Amino acid sequence: MSIEAMKQALEALENTLGFTGSREIDSATRQAITSLRQAIAEAEKQEPYGYLKLSNGKFYHEVEGVPDLACNPDYLPLHTHPQPKREPPTPREVKDVLRATGLLTNSQAWDAAEEVMKLLAAHGIKENT
């Protein structure tokens, strides 16, 4: 969801407060308002990964000559959700998978796990210690 869409939803929720006649609904609405404000603040901290030009519907990864998007409403900044941190496997996890095949002895699996870890490191995937 874009920041603009979240702001529209926030405004709509704020406009309903007190009109429902239900304390429970107003309480739930206040919780949703708080969550949306937090999500908006978090999204605004992130750099957009690209822009959507509204006049032609085309996606641009970078927009040259548009230093202040607040002054140029033709471009809508697009943000992503934070991606979960991915951890590489440990040598023991690699060994356990290799050993589970039943094709290698424990010693062979450890040797193979060391080679797999070297291969991962050569590709920039290093074990966290």
Residue 113 CB-density burial (10 A; 0-12 exposed, 13-18 middle, 19+ buried): buried
pLDDT digits (tens, 9 = 90+) for 18-27: 887 788 888 8
The 3-state DSSP class for residue 34 equals: helix
Say yes or no: 38 and 52 in one domain.
no
CA–CA gap between residue 26 and residue 32 (Å, rounded): 10
Q: How many domains does the chain have?
A: 3
Say yes or no: 106 and 90 in one domain.
yes
Say yes or no: 5 and 29 in one domain.
yes
pTM above 0.85, yes or no: no
CA–CA gap between residue 106 and residue 113 (Å, rounded): 10
Say yes or no: 105 and 71 in one domain.
no
pLDDT digits (tens, 9 = 90+) for 43-74: 777 777 777 777 777 766 665 555 465 566 77
- What domain range is 118 assigned to? 84-129
